[in-house]
A and B are shown apart, each in its own frame.
Chain A
Amino acid sequence: MGKGQRAVHAFKSTEFIEHTRDKDGLLVGGEQYPFKQAPKNSSTLLLSEKTTSTPAVSKEVVEANLTEGVQKKEPSELEAVPTLILVTTYLSFLMLIMFAHMRDFIGKILNPEQYVQLREQSGYAPMVSDFESLWTRRLYGRIRDCFNRPITGVAGGRVNLLERVSKDFNNTFQFTGRVHNVLNLASYNYLGFAQSEGPCADKVEEAMHANGITQSSSRAEVGRSRQLAETEDMVARFVGTEAALIVSMGYATNALNIPTLVGKGCLIISDELNHSSLVSGARLSGATIRVFKHNDVRNLEKQLRFSVSQGQPRTHRPWKKILVVIEGLYSMEGQFPKLPEIIELRRKYGFYLFVDEAHSIGALGKRGRGVCDHFGVDPREVDVLMGTFTKSFGAAGGYIAGSKALIDYLRLHSHSAVYAESMSVPVLAQISSSMRMIMGEDREHALEGQQHLEQLAVNSRYMARRLAEMGFMTMGDPGSPVIPLLLFNPAKIPAFSRECLKRNIAVVVVSYPATSIITGRVRICISASHTREDLDYALEQISEIGDLLMLKFHKDKVAQEHEQSSSTTSSKKNA
């Protein structure tokens, strides 16, 4: 088989891998786990030449997804929470806040100098108001060591953490000079492309030799290089749209482009759990903003019917445009949007759909093309596809993809294209090289991209299943590379993080205000660069921590189920 052919067939090899999977997507049959390490010679995997049709979307897939969405019970977050946990969590927060106020009260009497910043002084209002900063000073301050942990080197499957200690209750940190190599369950390195060696890094080096580092100008002026234009074309091809625009920062992609799409007299209907950048963008646009309940299509439809029929507030003039903004993968929840149903609504109500694929692009779908690929939806059904390169591609920045008319307009009128710096050379090279690998266009590494995708899918399903088996309460849809594990009690949040660090695992814990006050959680991000040993080690340690912190809320249920299943099998045997 010629090289070109190999490239063409690269993604079709899914078929080869697929027939040895169980319902969780885990590999079964062979004792040897085939993808522990990416094979050096990619052609070994091409021994079986199965030419199947491209994994294009069939109608059944869509329907299956639709029915699945309807049938699947949607357990409300809090419904399943044991009452005792609920009560203790609220009580703990109450206690924390009471203590915080008491400490402030007493501190202001005993040690007024420390609170000078919070008072009006010589005619200047305090920069940070007293009440506003209470959370930061008294609650976040206590667990500050769990955040902003500095690293060195690449945030790959393992990461080098700089050890730091605090002698003044997390006010300041001192570095000990020691470096810990820990397992990284925190970075968004879904496909494992965050590397300093290997084909992508080589391409980056080549590009830097050829094109320098940056442009020192905006895209609309003289910041547009041939490399940028070519990468934009590639992104459009990857996403499956006519054109794409690259922006040099992920947050800015939303914050600086939404104002170009909608403005006064327009309406934005946004999922309540949307990312801060979407909120900023919506606020900057000057459009009216309404919020629908997270992933609740019925609520969205209600909002739409109300908005379209009532028109603009007071004047009842019809809305100029309605933009529905959702995310492709809610990174704090690990949940997918109900895209097929929302697209149904789009056909009916004629709104424009904006999907933020920050976390889903590269990580979801058989071909890594994001949430549209996952649900088998034509990307052209979505008006604006936004995504970032920070996560799956190991680069930085983001893109907006859509019709040529849209992108052409954005190229001249988007704040990011006209005012902000254009994308730097190494980042562009990283994007194009990793994307080529995922698409199987890189002839020398024709299969690696697909392997990364496979490995990620297998890893995430394995991790989620094992955690659920242990009795942990996890959130998220099956196949999501982000697995939130609920902790609830505020004291368990830093405890989990510190225990993990003790056992050489880096995790991200999040609590209010990033989540609701009750559902403090640890967020486990799976990467394709994790080996099965890595995950098993992590699971073993997390299991221990779970026992220690009493986190296995479903332990009894799991045991029961286990008992039931074993009893049925034994009864079968008896029969």
Chain B
Amino acid sequence: METVASTASFVSSASPVAGETDESSHGFLRTAWDFSFRMVLRYIKNSYKDDPFRTFLEVCLIGFIVWYMAKPKYNIGTNKVELSEKEIDELVEEWRPEPLVPALTEFERETLDKAIMIDGPNGTKVRLASGSNNKPVLNFASYNFLGFVDSPELGKHAVESLRKYGVGTCGPPGFYGTLDVHMELEKQIAAFIGHSAAILYSQAFTTTLSVIPCFSKRSDIIVADEGVNFAVQQAIFLSRSKVYWYKHNDMADLERILKDVNKQLVGRRGKNALPRKFIVTEGLFQNTGDISPLVELVELKHRYKFRIILDESFSFGVLGKRGAGLTDHFNIDPHEIDLLIGALCFAIGASGGFCCADKDLVEHQRLSGAGYCFSASLPGILTIAAADAIHALEADPDSYLDNLRDNAVLLRTLLKRIPGLQIDGAADSPLIHIRLAPDALVRMKRSGGAWTKTDIDRVLTDVAEEAQKDGVLLTRAMYVDDHERILPNSSIRICVSSAHTRKEVEKCAHAVKSAVSRITSKKR
């Protein structure tokens, strides 16, 4: 009893120091503290009386816990060097950082100086601010597959919607940035593709960048095509998942990896939870113009229990009988694709992107999709432009898509006849990459030395410039060379549009032919 009394006196003597203010809350807390302190002491005292050894054990245990908590969590070996203040000052004084950005090379400077500048609206025919004469040139460089970019009706409606929605939404979708037209467009896209739900992002690149890391986390597994576009590469990198790359469109290689992955997982299943497993590929490859073999992919998906993330940025609006993308093209139930990513800025001619998935997964993105959650929503005008374009495509798909396919096939056949060129990609893909054939390169090099990438880029730039003189606007496919995982071979990327006439397509092929023959005849 003595101890209890002394603790009580200790507590009461300590209490005036603890709380000098006379707030009621403090008074209450003090009483509570007082009470619990006494309880603990009484407990210790009693237990000591009963079993002194137990108290000793408990004290040891507490000591161990304190030691355990206090020790550094995990030692990664910082390898720190102890330095005096003076030494640090000297090191600070000495340290010279590299320049923030390296200086441009001669060729890069040239590229920048000669960069195309469009004067007025973009479309199938554009005026160039840089050109000497102000004659419009035929545009085979924009991703204007369906001609929506310069469609006058869509433009008119968009102007009208300006008077209702203004321009910016001034907030992310979570904070009063969700417009009624956003919700309508989401429903419309989901219905058009035939999936359960859709979510709208305000930029196509960021859509991919948000969706993949949103579901695929550090411990998960991604098996991806080597030829995917840069946005997918970045998204995979951002997700920090374990990634395996399979050879571009090679289903046998994919199957080999899937088997491997599953074999590895068998062993560790007991210890850890099953990771999420994804196959990531692109519908219409931006870098090659190839089309993914979806039928085989879906079969493999089921056989090996993977999910599919499909980037349809370039195939949405382009492939399929209705223009609903790759699933439409192969007549496969869109629900087979677990996450379907699309873009509204290419074929649809508006801006932004979307992701189609099951309702739960879409709702999950509204809180966890970084690009959705942390950036302003798509402006109302562009939303309406996208909705109108999809309506137009839905109402009369044949008038857009038949033309597009015919033009694509025609241009591809014409281009294939040109000597010295190498044309890849699927037969009816409107994305055509033209590359210089190896034999042509050998012929062109006077000294017989090796071609550097800059040399080839320069030749292709010259080809594009020559074609521009003939009234056809072309562009070399641009990449951030040192950031691409596998840099695609340099090419000129031609995008056919349904709004091009047969004659215009022929003119394009002709311009390419004469430009190539003029440039390749020069020795370098």
Could you tell me which A residues sit within 8 Å of B by CB distance?
A: 82-84, 87, 117, 120, 122-129, 133, 136, 140, 147-156, 159, 161-162, 184, 186-189, 193-197, 200-201, 204-205, 208-218, 220-226, 229, 248-252, 255-256, 259-261, 275-277, 280, 283-284, 304-305, 308-310, 313-314, 316, 318-322, 348-352, 383-384, 388-391, 393-396, 405-406, 408-416, 418-421, 424-427, 429-430, 506, 508
Contacts and interface: CB of A to CB of B under 8 A. Distances in A.
Nearest to B19: A83
Contacts of B275: 125
Contacts of A255: 206, 209
Interface stretch (B65-73, B318-326, B344-352, B397-405): B344-352
B482 to A, nearest CB: 8
A155 B351 contact: no
B164 interface: yes
A420 B229 CA distance: 11
Given A215-B118, A220-B478, A276-B374, A201 B204 contact: no
Nearest to A351: B97
A225 B117 contact: yes
Interface string B169-187: 1110111111110110000
Given A195-B166, A221-B116, A314-B79, 5 more contacts: A83-B29, A124-B274, A194-B166, A213-B155, A308-B92
Interface string B134-167: 0000010111100001100011001100111111
Interface string B198-231: 0000111110010000010000100000000111
A350 B95 contact: yes
A280 B237 CA distance: 11
Nearest to B116: A222
B340 to A, nearest CB: 14
Contacts of B123: 212
Given A186-B171, A187-B170, A409 B203 contact: no
A304 B361 CA distance: 42
12 contacts: A124-B305, A150-B180, A152-B164, A186-B171, A196-B162, A214-B385, A221-B141, A224-B115, A309-B88, A418-B479, A421-B203, A421-B204
Contacts, number: 373
A409 B101 contact: yes
Contact of B171 (A188, A216, A284): A188
Contact of A277 (B99, B104, B374): B374
A123 B277 CA distance: 10
Nearest to A419: B230
A259 B102 CA distance: 14
B375 A249 contact: yes
Contact of B167 (A184, A250, A427): A427
Contacts of A252: 203, 205-206, 209, 371, 375
Contacts of B349: 213-214, 216
B434 interface: no
B173 to A, nearest CB: 6
Contact of B154 (A87, A213, A216, A425): A213
A426 B79 contact: no
B176 A155 contact: yes
Given A213-B385, A222-B139, A309-B88, A395 B168 contact: yes
B511 to A, nearest CB: 16
A126 B80 CA distance: 42
Interface in B396-455: none
Interface of B: 25-26, 29, 77-81, 83, 87-88, 91-92, 95-104, 108, 111-112, 115-123, 126, 129, 139, 141-144, 149-150, 154-155, 158-159, 162-171, 173-180, 182-183, 202-206, 209, 215, 220, 229-231, 234, 237-238, 273-277, 305, 307, 338, 345-346, 349-351, 360-361, 364, 366-367, 370-371, 373-376, 378-379, 381-382, 385, 473, 475, 477-480, 483
A138 to B, nearest CB: 13
Nearest to B351: A424
Contacts of A415: 205, 230, 234, 480, 483
B205 A221 contact: no
A204 B167 CA distance: 8
B78 A313 contact: yes
B170 A319 contact: no
Contacts of B159: 205, 208-209
B337 to A, nearest CB: 14
B276 A125 contact: yes
A195 to B, nearest CB: 6
B142 A217 contact: yes
Contacts of B116: 221-222, 224
A396 B376 contact: yes
Nearest 6 pairs between A and B by C-beta? A212-B121, A251-B375, A249-B203, A409-B101, A123-B305, A421-B345
A186 B175 contact: yes
A150 B178 contact: yes
B460 to A, nearest CB: 13
A277 B375 contact: yes
Given A208-B158, A222-B141, A409-B101, A217 B122 contact: yes
A246 B23 CA distance: 56
B205 A419 contact: yes
Given A215-B122, A222-B118, A259-B483, A197 B163 contact: yes
Contacts of A430: 167-168
B142 A215 contact: yes
B499 to A, nearest CB: 12
A305 B166 contact: no
Contact of A318 (B95, B104, B350, B373): B95
Contact of A151 (B83, B178, B274): B178
Nearest to B139: A222
Contact of B104 (A120, A151, A390, A408): A408
Contacts of B122: 212, 214-217, 222-223, 225
A403 B237 CA distance: 30
Contacts of A187: 169-171, 175-177
Nearest to B150: A212
Contacts of A406: 100-101
A284 B208 CA distance: 14
A109 B328 CA distance: 41
Nearest to B209: A255
A119 B415 CA distance: 53
A84 B99 CA distance: 53
Contact of B103 (A197, A348, A352, A405): A405
Nearest to B28: A84
A125 B205 contact: no
Contact of A212 (B155, B176, B230, B237): B155
B233 to A, nearest CB: 10
Nearest to A405: B101
Contacts of B238: 280, 283-284
A10 to B, nearest CB: 23
Given A127-B215, A213-B158, A420 B204 contact: yes
Nearest to A219: B115
A248 B203 contact: yes
B179 A125 contact: no
Given A154-B166, A208-B162, A225-B117, A136 B370 contact: no
